[in-house]
Amino acid sequence: MIYTDKVMDHFANPRNVGTLPDADGVGQVGNPVCGDMMTFYVKVHDGKLADIKFQTFGCGAAIAVSSMVSEMALGKTLAEAMAITNEKVAEELGGLPKNKMHCSNLGADALHLAVRNYRDRAAGGTAKMAVGGEHEHEGEEEGEKTGSCPYCEGPLEGFEELCACKHCHTDLVECPACGKYTKKAEAACTHCGAALSK
């Protein structure tokens, strides 16, 4: 597995590591398959991200992605931060190995959740943290599900409520609680822990 010099630099010297005890928004995502967990903390001033910190538990690529996302978003408006995509993160890092692209998804998602948490709080919400990992899918049509298989990261597109991943052939079912695909044979969703009806 070959990483770019930029990935190695952000892994060895990550920017903006830590927490913000008085954060205006906090977002956390985790991937139950690879074990990566990312938490982003944001401070907002005059509609811009005045400060960003993150904590990441995971592989070198996950740390590098978190560092890059924080650097890309710092000083940006909320709209600009929400426009940061996994593709842009990977591009800024000079590319990522295919089996590590999910890390860029997680980094962008954690940032987006922190911004949403801030907006929710500003609108009167009380959630201390937004937890999840819903990926952004531009142009997703009603009734069409997209995303990646939680077991092999293969693309899932155009599937109905029940499907099998074309790559790893795992039978998947949509969780009624969080809407993400999880293994049909499991008793509970691997993403949110909700019980699956049999």
Query: What CATH code is carried by the domain that includes residue 118?
Result: 3.90.1010.10
Supply 111's token pair: 């940032």
What's the mean per-residue pLDDT of the chain? 77
Q: What is the dihedral of CA 135, 140, 143, 146, to 10 degrees?
A: -40
Catalytic residue among 103, 149, 175, 189: 103
Top-confidence range, 53-62, 151-160, 189-198: 53-62
20 and 46 together in one domain: yes
Q: Give this prediction's pTM.
A: 0.64
The predicted structure's pLDDT at residue 156: 57
The predicted structure's pLDDT at residue 7: 86
Task: Judge whether 149 counts as a catalytic residue.
Answer: no
Name the domain boundary from 132, 165, 190: 132
70 and 53 together in one domain: yes
Task: Judge whether 189 counts as a catalytic residue.
Answer: no
Top-confidence range, 13-22, 55-64, 162-171, 173-182: 13-22
Total residue count of the chain as it appears in this document: 198
Catalytic residue among 34, 149, 163, 189: 34
Residues 37 and 91 sit within 8 Å (Cβ to Cβ) = no
